[in-house]
Amino acid sequence: MSQPESSKSTFAPALGDMNKEEFRRFGHELIDWIADYFDRIDQLPVLAAIEPGDLKAELPTSPPEQGESMEMIIADVDRLIVPALTHWSHPSFFAYFATSTSAPGIFGELLSAAFDNKAMLWRTSPASTELEEVTLDWLRQMMGLDPGMTGIIYDTASVSSMHAIAAAREGVEQRIREDGMSGRTDLPLLRVYVSEHAHSSIEKGIITLGLGQKGMRKIPTDSAFRMDARALAAAIDEDKRSGFIPFCIVATVGTTSTSSIDPIREIIPIGEEHAMWLHVDAAYAGSAAVVPELRHILDGCERADSLVVNPHKWLFTPFDCSVLYTRHMDLLGRAFSLVPEYLRTPEQEKVRSGSDYGIQLGRRFRALKLWMVMRYFGHEGLAARIREHCRLAKLFASWVEESPDWELLAPTPFALVCFRACPKREGESDELRGKRLDVLNEAIMHGVNGTGKALFSHTKLNDKLTLRLSIGNIRTTEAHVRQVWDLMNQQLQLLK
Ligand code: PLP
């Protein structure tokens, strides 16, 4: 990374920031670069084709003493960074939950970086504070959520859910904020109930809050991977008899492995009977409620205490942007508000300040990108894109169903298909068949992913290695879905 003579003019000045002309020039160049990146992304391998340590080996181990030219930095993005990227923006990215950014979202991020607001108090960022309130109320309306729900933005669903559980714990009135939990003999075990398919972030939140892994009880699921409400009621009764305090249920709309939907309407009365907080993890599938004919997936949530939805998952908003809705902002505030003298402001009683509702002081201006995405696509535009993803997933599922060599392993309520290859072999025992299919499906997945033309991931359902195809990228078309299906079938023919 030595500095060529010719690029001297683009080095940082002795003091101050890059000059205006160079900012303009490189700014335009980078936007062109991004436009070209999206144009050629189909030709790039979805999964980074590098070995662990390859990038580190290319990078200097100590920082540059003198500044380097922008040309060299941008050239190194091309030379070093792009080959080390797994391209989440690739239209054949079908792994985990496929997500995507969008042009208005990128512009929102760009502006937010320029404004660099720390939206901790209303006064440090009135625009961020008020735009967040308005945008989240728009999203609430789009999703058909109850008007009693107020939203707040965090970075991720993991953090949103942790805050929801903290607010629920505050509602237990056990002086935990004041006295803590350790060293207390007067505090029974507090418990949160989740299905065995709940996301691991809930358990992490519970650990972080000092409730301990014993503070979480996993409830079994039915044949469609939905929380068994009767088992939930029985577990709560049993724990109460043991002297525990059951205080929170976390139900999921759109579980990570299969996108199953817990039976919210059956869970609601159980929580209400025991005055427990119901948090709904709709991080992935909540966005689907903007599609009018899918709004029913949140049936019952009008009585939930909180709900998380991630616009960075399926609302074309660049990572990160997670929204927590709750009808108990007061409890969230009681759990987290702490205003030292240096943050006191004359208007504090009249306005909302984001830092009163979470662990962070400074907060990014994330509402801007979401507002720009919502305005640019509109409710109908967002719904049309999500509807199309669901159509493509159902189409893929129909190909699986029609083929004797493949089978579906879970329902497809949204845009995630769970399936596996299952070619028959005469006279094989169930046990041998199970083992053979696990090995075969894993090999198919690595075979297709190794081509660089598509990327998908797996889970385990009923002890079977299960392939997951998630459709959520704004650029994914039927041709991309057809291509990955063809690639899977080619691998199957090679391997079976
Ligand atoms: N909840 C569910 C249902 C998820 O599927 C995920 C991630 O895929 C999460 C929570 C965690 O999301 P985040 O990365 O925003 O913390």
Q: What is the DSSP string of 218-277?
A: EEPB-TTS-B-HHHHHHHHHHHHHTT-EEEEEEEEBS-TTT--B--HHHHHHHHHHTT-E
Q: Is the CB of 252 under 6 A from ligand 1?
A: yes
pLDDT at 200: 97
Helix (H, G, I), strand (E, B) or coil at 51: coil
Close Cβ partners of 320 (under 8 Å, ≥ 6 residues apart)? 155, 156, 312, 366
Q: Provide the phi-psi class of 116: left if phi over 0, else alpha when psi is between -120 and 50, else beta.
A: left
Q: Is the CB of 459 under 6 A from ligand 1?
A: no
Ligand 1 pocket test: pick from 310, 322, 468 the residue with the most ligand atoms within 8 Å of its Cβ: 310
Of 7-11, 167-171, 395-399, minimum mean pLDDT range: 7-11
How far does the centroid of ligand 1 lie from the alpha carbon of residue 218, in Å?
A: 18
- Is the pLDDT at 351 greater than 80? The verdict is yes
- Is the pLDDT at 199 greater than 80? The verdict is yes
pTM: predicted TM-score of the whole model, two decimal places: 0.96
Close Cβ partners of 52 (under 8 Å, ≥ 6 residues apart)? none
Q: What is the pLDDT of residues 41-52, one digit of tens each?
A: 999 999 999 999
Q: Which residue has the higher pLDDT, 334 or 7?
A: 334
Confidence band, pLDDT 50/70/90 cuts, at residue 496: confident
Of 294, 354, 311, nearest to 150 (Cα)?
A: 354
Class of residue 30 by CB neighbours under 10 A (exposed 0-12, middle 13-18, buried 19+)? middle
C-alpha angle 75-81-83 in degrees, rounded to nearest 5: 105
pLDDT at 176: 96
Query: Cα separations (Å) of 319 from 101, 108, 255, 310, 369?
Result: 8, 12, 20, 9, 10
From the CA of 155, give the closest atom in ligand 1.
15
Q: What is the pLDDT of residues 440-471, one digit of tens each?
A: 999 999 999 999 999 999 999 999 999 999 99
- Residue of minimum CA distance from atom 12 in ligand 1: 157
Tell me the C-alpha distance between 362 and 347, whole Å.
18
From the CA of 310, give the closest atom in ligand 1.
15
Beta bridge partners of 217: 193
pLDDT at 9: 56
Whether residue 360 contacts residue 324, with contact meaning beta carbons closer than 8 Å, is answered with no
Q: What is the pLDDT of residues 395-444, one digit of tens each?
A: 999 999 999 999 999 999 999 999 999 999 999 899 999 999 999 999 99
- Is the pLDDT at 203 greater than 90? The verdict is yes
Class of residue 182 by CB neighbours under 10 A (exposed 0-12, middle 13-18, buried 19+)? exposed
From the CA of 159, give the closest atom in ligand 1.
16
Beta bridge partners of 250: 194, 279
